[in-house]
Structures are given as C-alpha cells and as structure tokens.
Structure 1
Amino acid sequence: MKVFGSLSQEQIVFGLAVLLCICFAIALPGFLTASNLLNLVRSVSILGILGVAMGLVVIGRGIDLSLVAAMAISVAWSLQLVSNGVPLPQAILLGLLFCLAVGLINGVLIAYVEIPAIFATLAMGTAVYGFGRYFLFSLDVIYMPDVARPLMWLGQGRFFGVPVPIFLFAAVCLLAYAFLRYTKYGRYLRAVGDNLQAARITGVPARPMIVLQYMLSSFIGFGAGLITAASVASMNTRVANSTFVYDVILVVVLGGIGLSGGRGGIRNVIVGTLLIGVLLNGMTIMDIQYTVQNVIKGVILLTAIVIDTILNPRDEQTAQQGDI
C-alpha cells in the first residue's frame, strides 16, 4: 500500500528507524556500538517472534488477544511439571498441546460459532490465565528447575558471537515467509483475510483456515515463551495481565499489516520490530520512566491504527462479522 507517492508504509517505517538510529547515535554515546546493537535486536527478538504469530492472524483478518496469556501459562505449566518430576520432553509436549488447544478453541469459536475475534480471544486470555493460576500452579513466577537448564541456551546462548534468540527470530521469519509465499495454505490464509466470501466461492476451506491461523499463532507463541523463560530462567505469568500484547499489535500495525486483512507480510513485522526496538532502546538509555514509555507507545499505536484506517478503509466485505 502506497502512502506518499511511491513510498509504502513499510519503507517509511524503515526510514524512521534509520533516522532514529542516527539521532540516538548523535545524542547517546555508545548507541552504535556492536554490543549495544546486538543487545537491541536480542531484546526485541521475542517481541518480533510474537509479532510474526500475530501478523499471520491479522493477515487472516483476525486478532489474538489471548496470545501472551496462552504463552505464559503453557510455558509456566511446563516448568511446573518438570519441577514435579515429569521428564523435560514430556513436559514441553504437554505445554505445547495445552497452547495448541487454546488456539483450537479460539479458532472454533471464531470460525464456527462466529464470535468476533476480539471478544473471543479477550475472553479466552482471561479464562486461560485464571485456569492456569487455579488448577495448574499457584505462584506468579515459576522458576526453571536445574533439570531444565539445557533450555537456557535458547535464551542466553551465543552462536558465532551472536545471541541465539536473534537466529531464532530470523528462522521464524523465514519459515513464516515461506509458508505465506510458497504453500497453498498460506495463499488460502491471505485469500480468507482479503475477502472471506470470495474465498468460499472459489473453494477455499475458509473455516478450517481460520482455525489453522489461530493454532499457528499458539504454536509460535509457545516457542516465544520457551525463549522468554530461557532468557531469565523463569516465567512470570503476570505478563498475561500486562500491556505486552498491545506491544505485539503495535509491531504488526506499525509495520504495515492492514487490520482489514489480506495485506502485508513478514517484512512488515521485521521493520515494525526494528523501529520499536530502536525506540525502546533509546528511551531506556535516556532513563525515561516506564509509564511515560507506555504513553508514547500508546500514542504511536493509536496513530498507526488511524493511518491503517485511512489507507485500508472498510468496505462492505471488511465490515462483516468477525472484523476487528
């Protein structure tokens, strides 16, 4: 989608990221050092991976507000199971199945019961958090037991001097790009997001594709959760009640993936993650208060949504039930 002349939103966001880098490099000594830039990318790798998960759902004209809650509870349960003596592979498998079940229920509620995605996933996120805290474990923070220490390489390891989370972010982006570009299911997902009725007429299995996109979101989210736990040797389930999910949406919308569905791709997630990473890193170095940072991010998100509404106006198709 072109914004100003021949420039797309993706190109403008990338240009803003470069401009911010130049400004911070001039104003903040040490910003452009190799170690700081690696830490910058590493710090937003998890946000970027979650952005890929959310991006796939938004391209399919949906939204997943339960993503962070499902990630936190499923990974925390896996760690709790390991602490209780369950073998690590089995515990990870059970946590993954739990997370996939959340995605499956989301998809069924949205595709077959036809509950609008924003309400279905909002309720699911609350239900998952409450279920996990009451039935699965009782503590806010679940620490990684010694037997699960091999997982810490995912969050703290280095490969050729580069933090492993950066490689994992790149791998997720590459796989998601290949899925959208080269598989029929990726094309189906984009077709459903672009025009649901037209997709149905042409024989696309629209309802199963909606279920698939939410299960993909949960699958990628669980992987991001493992990296999160590996980075800090614990999983803080309070993140489910934080504004983190809105940071994920900010990355997606700011990068240029249209909320009306069917538009954008993985490159949009990458440039959105890059801009937010530079912004957060600069604000942290300048010691800007966390609450002020939230205000700034909120204003940016609102601005991005307004721009998206102007660039991708709702028509008769995008005003159908289930649109966000």
Structure 2
Amino acid sequence: MPRKPIKISQEKVVIGISVVLFSIFSIVLDKFLSEGNIIALLKNVSILGTLAVGMGLVVVGRGIDLTMVAVMVVGVAFSIWVSSLGIDFTVAVLIGAVLVALIGLFTGVMIAFAEIPPIFATLAIASSIYGTGRIIFPSDVLYAPNNVGWLKWVGSGTLFGIPASVLIFGIVSVTMGLFLRKTRFGRLVYATGDNPNAARNMGLPTRPIIVTQYIISALIAFIAGLIMTGLVTGINTRIYNSSLIYDVLLVVVLGGIGLSGGQGGVRNVIVGTILVGILTNGMTILNVSYTNQNLIKSVILLTALAIDAIINPRDEQTSQTGDI
C-alpha cells in the first residue's frame, strides 16, 4: 500500500523551528541552559502566553483585542491604588476584576451592537483606558503590598518544582481549551468566527457571543497582570507603550490561528508562545538591542501575516465587512 503523504502544517513547522532554535542556543550560549535562565524564560512565557490565550479566543471569533495590555496594566494598577486607600488587597483585586469586566463589556457592545470594526474600537478604547489611568494614578509605577501571601506565591512559589506563574498559565490554557472544544458556547464561537452572517441567519446569538469574548479576554488580561505583579512586586503602566501587544499578536498568528476566524485553538497559542519565548530569550542573552529585537519580531509578524493570508484567503463576506 502506498504511504500516506505527510501533511505539513504551520503548527508543525513552528514546533520544528522551536526545536532548532533551542538546540542552537543551547550549544552557542553558555547561560541558556542554566537553571536561572530557564526559570526566567518560563516565567516570562507565562505572562505572554496567558495574554495570548485571551487574544486567541477573540481571534477565533474573527475579532482582535488591542485593549489587552491597557486593561492589564490599568486594571492591576487600579487594584493597587484602591488597596492604598485602606481596602484589603484581595478585595481590591476583586474590585479591579469587576472594572476590567465592565471594560470588556463596553468593548464588546461597541463592536457587536454599534458595529465598529474591532481593530479601530479596541485601539481607541485602549488609548482611553491608559489615558484615564495616567490621570487617576499618582505614579507610573505602583507597588503591591508586601504582606499578601498568595501574591508572593504567584511570584516565587512552586509546585512540584514548577513555578506558580507557569501553573497559572497552564490552568488558564487547559480551561480555555476545554471551554472552546467541549462547551456549546465554544462551538458557537467557532461558528460565529467561521461565518458571522450564516451564524446570524441560523438564529445564533452572535452579538452576545462577541460581547462575552471581550469580557473573558479582559479578565484573562487581568490575570496576566496579577502574574506580572507577583513576579516584580508591582506594575509599570508604561508597559502599555511597549511592543507587548504585538508580541501577543505574533504568538497567535505564528501559532496558526488564522485572522479569518473559526479555526485554531489553545494548542496553537502554546506552540507560538514557546517559539517567541525562546527567540526573545536568546536575543536577550546575545545582547541584541531592544530596537533590533522589535525589528526582527516585526519582520516575523509580517511574514506570518502574509502566510496566514495565503493559507486562509479572505472570502467574499470577509472582503466586504473586514475580518478585523
């Protein structure tokens, strides 16, 4: 019997590149395989990966969420600011979670009901969130109380030798994976992302689905912010001006979640996170400047977008309404 041809997917290509990069860095860079560097790599990947899980959900639903970094830094900064007024930090975190959920609700309503294209709506809302935070908060950098046990565990705790931040990323990933693949809502997200008009004509509640996606995305961004706060004991709101949101998009697109919607999942996010994490860590050890790192990642993102456009061509409906 003739052998079946091996199907080469974008996911397998990314895994192969990750293995090659890891091998090269392990040989060339003395510090790459050190315990401290591996732990640092895992912790950094946990923040990027957690954000990418939320972005992946929205992209599967044929959207995009450029508010994630703004929501992350302002939501956590708001919680720290509230705790400085004498409120218990854990309660302040719950208040911050309510705030970011409301932001996600507003974003979703603007996109689903006002029908503003997601890329413009989220870009404008992100700037508004960050600008409001700059007015309210007394400083760009806010530090969390140093006596919060669970926050210390998030930053430096381990379980079976695995950093707590990585465990949280794993929990978020598994939960989202099950949510997308095993629940009715998840199937509705794929249906809406695959063909919004057909889903609407079938009577599916596409608008509430879109709104819910942005609420979940905002809450996941908040979780990523708490991970960051645990790792560095505070939050720097100026991170909003960094290239982090583009790194998140790079992870999602590179991993194989098409911007045309309706395909991909958490596994793609994990694959993309590993590659970007290894690449960034290696460039940092090589003392590649921040500007050059952004240039390299920008070229990779542009290439990934071009590949995505070829693999997932725009259909007639997408061409008329815009996939983002």
TM-score (norm 1): 0.95
Question: Equivalent residue for 2:261?
Answer: 261
Distance 2:156 2:183 in 1: 33
Distance 2:66 2:156 in 1: 28
| Change in CA separation of 1:320 and 1:85 when aligned onto 2, cut-off 3 Å | farther
Question: Equivalent residue for 2:309?
Answer: 309
Question: Equivalent residue for 1:97?
Answer: 98
Counterpart check, 1:78 vs 2:87 = no
Distance 2:108 2:203 in 1: 19
Q: Deviations over 1:200-253 (max 9, x none)?
A: 122210000000100010011111111111110011001112211111101000
Distance 1:19 1:80 in 2: 45
Distance 1:146 1:23 in 2: 40
Q: Secondary structure at the match of 1:32?
A: coil
Higher mean alpha-carbon deviation, 123-132 vs 151-160, is at 151-160
Q: After TM superposition, give the deviation of residue 147 of structure 1 in Å.
A: 4.2
Question: Equivalent residue for 2:45?
Answer: 44
- The residue identity in structure 2 corresponding to 1:111 is A
Counterpart check, 1:88 vs 2:89 = yes
Q: After TM superposition, give the deviation of residue 149 of structure 1 in Å.
A: 5.3
- The residue identity in structure 1 corresponding to 2:79 is S
Distance 2:192 2:320 in 1: 12
Q: Secondary structure at the match of 1:207?
A: helix
Distance 2:238 2:108 in 1: 25
User: Among the aligned pairs, what percent are the same residue?
Assistant: 53
- The residue identity in structure 2 corresponding to 1:68 is V
* Contact kept in structure 2, 1:60 and 1:192, CA below 8 Å: yes
- The residue identity in structure 1 corresponding to 2:91 is Q
- The residue identity in structure 2 corresponding to 1:137 is F
Question: Equivalent residue for 1:206?
Answer: 206
Distance 2:244 2:143 in 1: 20
Distance 1:150 1:200 in 2: 44
| Change in CA separation of 1:148 and 1:322 when aligned onto 2, cut-off 3 Å | farther
Question: Equivalent residue for 1:18?
Answer: 19
Question: Equivalent residue for 2:220?
Answer: 220
- The residue identity in structure 2 corresponding to 1:139 is S
Higher mean alpha-carbon deviation, 284-293 vs 38-47, is at 38-47
- The residue identity in structure 1 corresponding to 2:115 is E
Runs of 4+ in 1 over 4 A off after TM superposition: none
Q: Secondary structure at the match of 1:7?
A: coil
Counterpart check, 1:59 vs 2:87 = no
Q: After TM superposition, give the deviation of residue 321 of structure 1 in Å.
A: 2.6
Higher mean alpha-carbon deviation, 198-207 vs 117-126, is at 198-207
Counterpart check, 1:187 vs 2:183 = no
Question: Equivalent residue for 2:282?
Answer: 282
Counterpart check, 1:318 vs 2:312 = no
- The residue identity in structure 1 corresponding to 2:102 is A
Q: Write the mapping of 1:96-245 to structure 2, written as runs, cut at 5 A.
A: 96-134=97-135, 136-148=136-148, 150-245=150-245
| Change in CA separation of 1:33 and 1:241 when aligned onto 2, cut-off 3 Å | closer
- The residue identity in structure 2 corresponding to 1:236 is N
* Contact kept in structure 1, 2:89 and 2:145, CA below 8 Å: no
- The residue identity in structure 2 corresponding to 1:314 is R
TM-score (norm 2): 0.95
* Contact kept in structure 1, 2:190 and 2:261, CA below 8 Å: yes
* Contact kept in structure 2, 1:75 and 1:226, CA below 8 Å: yes
Q: After TM superposition, give the deviation of residue 312 of structure 1 in Å.
A: 0.6
- The residue identity in structure 2 corresponding to 1:177 is G
Gaps of 5+ in 2: none
Q: Deviations over 1:162-186 (max 9, x none)?
A: 2111111111110000000100000
Q: Secondary structure at the match of 1:235?
A: strand
Q: Deviations over 1:106-140 (max 9, x none)?
A: 10000000000000000000001111221x31210
Q: Deviations over 1:13-56 (max 9, x none)?
A: 01000010111112112423454333322221100000000000
Gaps of 5+ in 1: none
Question: Equivalent residue for 2:32?
Answer: 31
* Contact kept in structure 1, 2:146 and 2:233, CA below 8 Å: no
* Contact kept in structure 2, 1:114 and 1:322, CA below 8 Å: no
